[in-house]
């Protein structure tokens, strides 16, 4: 609020306002031409932080921020940056600047009960020191934890407020990079000598980057004033009438303010902090140094990502590979990269839901142990899951819970079982769970541990390759002939039904015959596509950090002999073949196997054809009841009517109505035919 107020004063008086400590991203939206930010915007560092998250494969991170505009202003930008690298924020920890030590410990204890072990700390140095002290006190600076500091902490010297000598070694951080130079070294010596003269009791005082930005900002303003070449910095009264003027409205307006901001915007030089200059009132973003404690381990730039040195000689593309960083010492003096999450020791065991099936099932079986009178869950899926959990790089404790009601029957369908994971009732679901699209909207599936089908490959030696007509052997000759006749018959029936009402079944005779037969062939031969599944998999909550490790464990189990052993246990292999003859026996399918199908299809087609003919003759009863016409004339007239379009049908009625509306001509439909007229309505077959 204070910064906003000062910026508004500068805008009213047309005086440049230069800040070297206002890092809040919200100040960018003010759009005042008189505001110059001589420091890095907090949002400029979020991509460097997300690159660290991506480099080590962490999927979740919890920000711990200060409960004010400075702390919370970073969160929206950090959340977007993490989403870009497929990571998310499961919880936001907010600590008040005036929080007591007990309140800080309570919040940290809450974080200990969660799975996520990656924390991003963004707060002022005084509060940050207290948070790290309490974290070390309750055991959160040990192996398995990840701490990342923003430049709000790394740009300050924390050694004075916290015993960092050993503990800070495990903390990562990003800080604005200041290139080394002889000019900077000389300035620091002069500054320290002067500072000790004025403050002899403060021996360990160091100049941080904010002091360098302040010096460069002052130097830039002096250069701008010098280039402006004027000594007149007078102010004019505002145009507000004196009778309604308030104290703020009485502020005078600088005569040279517009010229000064233009000159200041064009000022460029190499200062103590590096290349210094303003673009749209903002300091040009610099590279960020990645630090491990106080030790630099690499750099991050917006163009190249992680690099060990800023010479860019061998760098051609953006990279977030951790190979471009130096050796990292993690909390607890560990050299092992933390996986980023843990099952809390004081947390609950994972609840694994399993389906309940009536009868025998090799995938999931519920048995009663007579010795302990307890329920035992076994089966192929259970053994595979146990093997996968055994291949995990860490211990995971869990219990199998059958998805059943008080009657011992399954409570709902498989979709209902999977949905329980989304509701939080189960931590995972194991069984013959098919991976389908609608379920993936609510859960994350692992890689399939088995295919959802049975394939039998039987090597056999036969003489089929010498017979050019071997493709006809699956069916007997009478079945082939009957099928061909049905193709023609079904095509004829479809043509009769569609000829008067569909353009697709009109035209030259050969075209009509081809359309009818192709339609019949497609209807009989090509079956509707079945629902496709991707095999059986384990279901976990969306965004669960377990999924990536479980997938790797599934691959490890699949590559070993363990999965084959489990398959042999539950799916007994047959060592001998019931038909050991080396030749292919003729087991062709005959008409006797399908006569029922042909009977039903033929009866349905004939019944439909009879209804159509009866309806057609009823509508044209005036023709065939005409006593004056001969039988031959009646047949010819009915055939002509059948060959004409049925303008009363839905297909042609809309077309003719649009034609009538466009041309203004009234078209008589077939239902308007006079009983006494001999003129046929509609167009010919072509």
The pair phi, psi for residue 196, each rounded to 5°, is: -70, -30
Does residue 261 share a domain with residue 304?
no
What is the sign of the dihedral through the CA atoms of 618, 619, 625 and 631? Answer: negative
- Give a yes or no: residue 678 inside a domain: no
- Residue 578, pLDDT > 70, answer no
The verdict on 274 and 307 lying in the same domain is no
160 & 62 share domain: yes
Q: How many domains does the chain have?
A: 5
The arithmetic mean of pLDDT across residues 193-208, rounded, is: 80
What is the domain-level CATH number for residue 310?
Answer: 3.40.50.2300
At residue 464, the pLDDT reads 53
Instruction: Give a yes or no: residue 216 inside a domain.
Output: yes
**Cα–Cα dist 106/120, whole Å:** 18
What are the two backbone dihedrals, phi and then psi, of residue 103, each rounded to the nearest 5 degrees? -65, -40
Tell me the sheet residues that pair with 319.
305
Same domain, 543 and 518: no
Over residues 258-287, the pLDDT tens digits come to: 888 899 999 999 999 989 999 888 888 789
Helices 125-137 + 101-112 axis angle, to 10: 60
3-state DSSP assignment of residue 176: strand
Residues 295, 265 within the same domain: no
Q: Of the residues 283, 316, 340, which one is the last residue of a structural domain? A: 283
Instruction: Please determine, for residue 672, whether its predicted confidence score (pLDDT) is greater than 50.
Output: no
Q: What is the pLDDT of residues 133-154, one digit of tens each?
A: 899 999 999 999 999 999 888 8
Rounded to a whole number of angstroms, the CA Rg of the chain reads 41
The string of pLDDT tens digits covering residues 373-382 is: 778 889 999 9
Judge if 522 and 659 occupy the same domain. no
404: CATH: 3.40.190.10
Other beta carbons within 10 angstroms of residue 282's beta carbon come to 17
Judge if 601 and 617 occupy the same domain. yes
Are residue 17 and residue 51 in the same domain, yes or no?
A: no
The SS3 call for residue 443 is: strand
**DSSP type of residue 319:** B
Residue environment code for 606-616, b if the CB has 16+ CB neighbours within 10 A, otherwise e: eeeeeeeeeee
The pLDDT confidence band at residue 610, using thresholds 50, 70 and 90, is: very high
Distance in angstroms (rounded) separating the CA atoms of residues 49 and 300: 9
Cβ contact 32:283 at 8 Å: no
Whether 302 maps to a domain, the answer reads yes
Residue 51 forms part of a structural domain: yes
The answer on 481 and 511 residing in a single domain is yes
In a domain, 331, yes or no: no
Helix, strand, coil % (nearest 5) of the chain?
45, 15, 45
Would 189 be classed as within a structural domain?
no
The candidate with the shortest Cα–Cα distance to 123, out of 162, 79, 75, is: 75
Comparing 366-370, 625-629, 674-678, the range with the smallest average pLDDT is: 674-678
pTM score: 0.61
Based on the domain organization, do 516 and 651 belong to the same domain?
no
Q: Classify residue 238 as exposed, middle or buried by CB count within 10 Å of its CB (0-12, 13-18, 19+).
A: middle
Q: What domain range is 256 assigned to?
A: 2-39+208-283
Residue 309 DSSP code: S
Task: Examine the domain organization and report whether 133 and 228 are in the same domain.
Answer: no
Question: For 474, which DSSP code?
Answer: T
Q: Does residue 467 sit in helix, strand or coil?
A: coil
End-of-domain residue from the set 324, 341, 374: 324
Tens of pLDDT, residue by residue over 152-190, are 888 876 545 555 555 577 899 999 999 989 999 999 999
User: Is residue 680 pLDDT above 60, yes or no?
Assistant: no
Burial class (CB in 10 A: 0-12, 13-18, 19+), 584: middle
pLDDT of residue 626: 77
Domain assignment present for residue 229? The answer is: yes
Residues 663 and 176: their CA atoms lie apart, in Å, by: 76
Does some domain include residue 330?
no
Is the same domain home to 66 and 158? yes
């Amino acid at each position: 609020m204070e910064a906003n107020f000062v910026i508004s004063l500068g805008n009213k008086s047309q005086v440049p306002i230069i800040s070297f400590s206002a890092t809040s991203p919200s100040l960018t939206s003010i759009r005042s031409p008189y505001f110059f930010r001589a420091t890095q915007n907090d949002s400029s560092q979020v991509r460097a932080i997300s690159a660290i998250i991506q480099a080590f494969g962490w999927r979740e991170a919890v920000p711990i921020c200060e409960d004010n505009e400075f702390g919370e202003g970073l969160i929206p930008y950090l959340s977007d940056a993490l989403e870009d690298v497929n990571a998310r924020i499961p919880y936001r920890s907010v600590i008040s600047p005036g929080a007591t030590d007990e309140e800080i410990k309570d919040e940290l204890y809450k974080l200990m009960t969660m799975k996520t072990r990656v924390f991003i700390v963004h707060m002022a140095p005084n509060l940050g020191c207290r948070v790290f002290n309490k974290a070390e006190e309750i055991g959160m600076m040990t192996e398995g934890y990840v701490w990342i500091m923003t430049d709000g902490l790394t740009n300050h010297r924390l050694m004075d407020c916290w015993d960092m000598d050993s503990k800070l070694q495990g903390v990562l951080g990003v800080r604005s990079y200041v290139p080394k130079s002889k000019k900077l070294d000389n300035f620091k010596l002069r500054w320290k000598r002067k500072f000790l003269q004025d403050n002899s009791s403060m021996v360990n005082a160091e100049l941080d980057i904010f002091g360098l930005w302040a010096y460069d900002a002052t130097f830039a303003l002096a250069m701008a004033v010098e280039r402006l070449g004027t000594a007149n910095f007078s102010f004019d009264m505002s145009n507000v009438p004196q009778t309604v003027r308030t104290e703020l409205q009485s502020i005078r307006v600088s005569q040279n303010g517009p010229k000064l901001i233009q000159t200041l915007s064009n000022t460029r030089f190499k200062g103590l902090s590096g290349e210094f200059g303003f673009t749209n009132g903002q300091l040009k973003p610099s590279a960020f140094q990645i630090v491990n404690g106080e030790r630099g381990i690499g750099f991050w730039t917006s163009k190249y990502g992680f690099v060990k040195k800023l010479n860019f000689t061998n760098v051609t593309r953006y990279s977030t590979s951790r190979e471009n960083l130096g050796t990292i010492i993690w909390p607890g003096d560990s050299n092992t990269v933390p996986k980023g999450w843990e099952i809390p020791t004081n947390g609950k065991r994972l609840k694994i839901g399993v389906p309940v099936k009536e009868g025998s099932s090799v995938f999931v079986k519920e048995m009663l142990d007579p010795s302990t009178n307890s329920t035992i869950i076994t089966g192929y899926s259970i053994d595979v899951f146990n093997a996968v959990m055994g291949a995990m790089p860490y211990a995971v404790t869990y219990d199998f819970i059958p998805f059943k009601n008080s009657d011992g029957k399954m409570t709902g369908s498989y979709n209902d079982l999977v949905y329980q994971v989304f509701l939080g009732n189960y931590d995972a679901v194991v069984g013959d769970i098919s991976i389908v699209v609608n379920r993936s909207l609510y859960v994350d599936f692992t890689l399939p541990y088995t295919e959802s089908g049975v394939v039998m490959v039987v090597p056999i030696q036969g003489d089929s390759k010498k017979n050019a007509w071997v493709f006809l052997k699956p069916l007997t000759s009478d079945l082939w002939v009957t099928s061909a006749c049905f193709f023609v018959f079904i095509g004829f029936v479809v043509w009769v039904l569609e000829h008067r009402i569909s353009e697709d079944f009109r035209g030259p005779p050969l075209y009509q015959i081809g359309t009818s037969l192709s339609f019949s062939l497609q209807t009989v031969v090509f079956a509707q596509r079945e629902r496709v599944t991707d095999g059986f998999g384990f279901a976990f909550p969306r965004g669960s950090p377990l999924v990536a490790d479980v997938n790797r464990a599934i691959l490890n189990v699949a590559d070993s002999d363990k999965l084959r052993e489990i398959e042999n246990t539950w799916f007994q292999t047959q060592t001998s073949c019931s038909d050991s003859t080396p030749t292919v026996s003729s087991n062709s399918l005959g008409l006797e196997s399908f006569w029922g199908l042909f009977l039903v299809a033929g009866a349905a087609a004939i019944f439909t054809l009879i209804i159509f003919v009866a309806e057609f003759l009823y509508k044209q009863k005036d023709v065939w009841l005409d006593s004056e016409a001969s039988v031959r004339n009646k047949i010819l007239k009915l055939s002509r009517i059948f060959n004409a379009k049925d303008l009363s049908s839905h297909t042609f009625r809309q077309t003719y109505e649009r034609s009538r509306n466009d041309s203004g001509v009234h078209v008589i439909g077939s239902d308007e035919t006079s009983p006494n007229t001999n003129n046929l309505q509609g167009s010919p077959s072509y």
